[in-house]
């Protein structure tokens, strides 16, 4: 295997810190974490599980903000360095495709991805029950809601950054109406972002304790020379509540419902105080990445303890080699290929 590379754009101005000498993991934390602290705007109690992307030589983001009335909404933010953020106090106001206001009752856990020069946002919203919201913007001024992809209950909708075999692809995690105690990752295809089908189960919960209750996709998959690199969260139940860790998988380039490798051990579990202590203790929840194809650098944006936004780093060649060497597939993974 030659050096693993990212297939994508260069991003020399993305945040980066070299791995500390005493770090034994292939993922390491930003030294100044968390980058967003309590009460970052007047309306916001906490901003966490959020998604960022390069835009016009700077960075923009869609932020999950839990308001002081307890209701989560999405806010827009800008940054020159992707570490110091100016986040608007007013939540994003959406329109439908005819231009009429169409604001969500609540909105959380956004993902953000550019496909063919448009920016798509997926989030969890009320649609007669917790379901996936889907919207698009070209200028981060007008935000237009598209058809909701799936009926309730579903969460963790994640679009791929390009069509594969002519279709858009979305990962999702069918769930229930509460703090779902189960969950596997599925893949669905669509020719037009309206009609979805060819549903496949990609990965199942299980294996080590850290992912034995449920799993859910994290950031949009990153295309690499070895396949799609997917970070995902894994949850276990303890006598003190759920613990959210994250690992990663490599999905086949042309048939992404086929899992080639997935981490037996977590890549990150709550350890630092800003991960173990907060509104919901013991949560690390990745929602987006920034990547530089030229160097293979990856910055992972994750919510910590449902309170903060934090950043971690990895280098693609080292990470993919680690995933391949420390993989354990489960019986329920990629069932159509068995
Ligand atoms: C999940 C989602 C996430 C949250 C996590 C831990 O069900 O609501 O937004 O980070 O629980 O509380």
Mean pLDDT of 284-310: 98
Per residue in 228-251, pLDDT (tens digit) is: 999 999 999 999 999 999 999 999
CA atoms of 11 and 117, how far apart (whole Å): 16
CA–CA distance, 217 with 2 (Å, rounded to integer)? 27
Give residue-wise pLDDT tens across range 196-226.
Answer: 999 999 999 998 899 999 999 999 999 999 9
Tally Cβ neighbours within 10 Å of residue 156: 26
Token output for 244? 């959210």
> What pairing do the DSSP bridges indicate for beta strands 214-217 and 185-190?
unpaired
| Ligand 1 pocket mutation pick from 179, 217, 245, 279 by most atoms within 8 angstroms of CB | 179
Q: Is the pLDDT of residue 42 over 90?
A: yes
Which contiguous run of DSSP H or E holds residue 269? Answer: none
What is the distance in A from the centroid of ligand 1 to the CA of 64? 11
Give the three-state DSSP class for 114: strand
Residue 338, pLDDT > 90, answer: no
CB neighbour burial string for 218-237, b if at least 16 within 10 angstroms, e if fewer: bbbbbbbebbbbbbbbbbbe
Which of 49, 181, 213 to probe ligand 1 with, by most ligand atoms within 8 A of CB?
A: 49
CA of 156 to the centre of ligand 1 (A): 10
How far does the centroid of ligand 1 lie from the alpha carbon of residue 104, in Å?
18
pLDDT of residue 336: 81
Instruction: Name the average pLDDT for the chain.
Output: 97
- Of all residues in the chain, what percent carry a pLDDT higher than 90? 98
Per residue in 106-116, pLDDT (tens digit) is 999 999 999 99
> Helix, strand, or coil here: 69?
coil
Residue 153 pLDDT > 80, yes or no?
yes
Query: Rounded distance, CA 201 to CA 18, Å?
Result: 37
First to last CA, the chain: 25
Burial of 128 (0-12, 13-18, 19+ CB in 10 A): exposed
3-class secondary-structure state, position 152: coil
pLDDT higher than threshold 90 for residue 132: yes
Give the C-alpha separation, 124 to 112, whole Å: 13
Tens digits of per-residue pLDDT, 159-180? 999 999 999 999 999 999 999 9
Work out which ligand 1 atom sits closest to the CA atom of 72.
Answer: 9
Residue 1 binned pLDDT confidence (cut-offs 50, 70, 90) = confident
CA distance 16 to 80: 14
CA proximity to 202, closest of 222, 168, 228: 228
Nearest CA to ligand 1 atom 11: 179
Distance CA 207, CA 184 (A): 13
Nearest to 34 by CA among 26, 25, 46: 46
Quote the ligand 1 centre to 285 CA distance (angstroms).
8
Which pLDDT score, from 0 to 100, does residue 335 have?
81
**Global confidence as pTM:** 0.98
Q: Vertex 8, ends 293 and 255: CA angle to 5°?
A: 120
Share in percent of the chain as helix, strand, coil (round to 5): 5, 45, 45
| 37-42 mean pLDDT | 97
Ligand 1 pocket residues where CB is under 6 Å: 49, 108-109, 179, 244, 280, 283, 285, 303, 306
Q: Are strands 72-79 and 58-67 parallel, antiparallel or unpaired?
A: antiparallel
Mutate to test the pocket of ligand 1, among 45, 70, 109, 279 (most ligand atoms within 8 A of CB): 109
- Strand duo 227-238 + 241-251: pairing: antiparallel
Q: Which atom of ligand 1 is nearest to the CA of 179?
A: 7
Report CA(211)–ligand 1 centroid distance (Å): 15
pLDDT at 149 over 90: yes
pLDDT recorded at residue 119: 98
């Amino acid at each position: 295997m030659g050096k693993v590379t990212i297939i994508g754009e260069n991003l020399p101005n993305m945040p980066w810190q070299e791995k500390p000498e005493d770090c034994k993991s292939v993922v390491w934390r930003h030294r100044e974490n968390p980058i967003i602290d309590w009460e970052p705007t007047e309306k916001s109690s906490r901003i966490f599980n959020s998604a960022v992307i390069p835009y016009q030589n700077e960075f923009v983001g869609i932020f999950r903000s839990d308001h002081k009335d307890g209701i989560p909404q999405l806010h827009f933010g800008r940054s020159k360095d992707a570490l110091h953020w100016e986040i608007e106090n007013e939540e994003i106001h959406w329109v439908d495709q005819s231009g009429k206001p169409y604001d969500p009752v609540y909105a959380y856990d956004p993902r953000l991805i550019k496909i063919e020069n448009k920016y798509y946002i997926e989030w969890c919203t009320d649609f007669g029950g917790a379901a996936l919201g889907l919207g698009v913007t070209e200028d981060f001024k007008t935000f237009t809601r598209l058809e909701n992809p799936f009926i309730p209950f579903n969460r963790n909708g994640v679009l791929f950054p390009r069509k594969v075999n002519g279709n858009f692809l979305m990962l999702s995690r069918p769930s229930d109406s509460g703090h779902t105690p189960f969950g596997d990752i599925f893949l669905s295809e669509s020719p037009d972002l309206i009609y979805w089908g060819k549903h496949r189960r990609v990965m199942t919960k299980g294996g080590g304790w850290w992912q034995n209750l449920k799993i859910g996709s994290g950031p949009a998959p990153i295309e690499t020379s070895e396949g799609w690199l997917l970070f995902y969260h894994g949850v276990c139940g303890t006598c003190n509540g759920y613990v959210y860790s994250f690992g990663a998988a490599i999905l086949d380039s042309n048939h992404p419902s086929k899992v080639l490798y997935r981490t037996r051990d977590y890549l990150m579990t709550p350890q630092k105080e800003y991960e173990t202590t907060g509104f919901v203790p013991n949560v690390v929840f990745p929602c987006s990445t920034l990547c530089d194809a030229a160097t293979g650098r990856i910055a992972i944006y994750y919510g910590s303890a449902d309170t903060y936004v934090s950043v971690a780093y990895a280098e693609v060649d080292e990470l993919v080699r680690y995933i391949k060497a420390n993989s354990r597939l489960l019986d329920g993974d990629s069932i159509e290929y068995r």
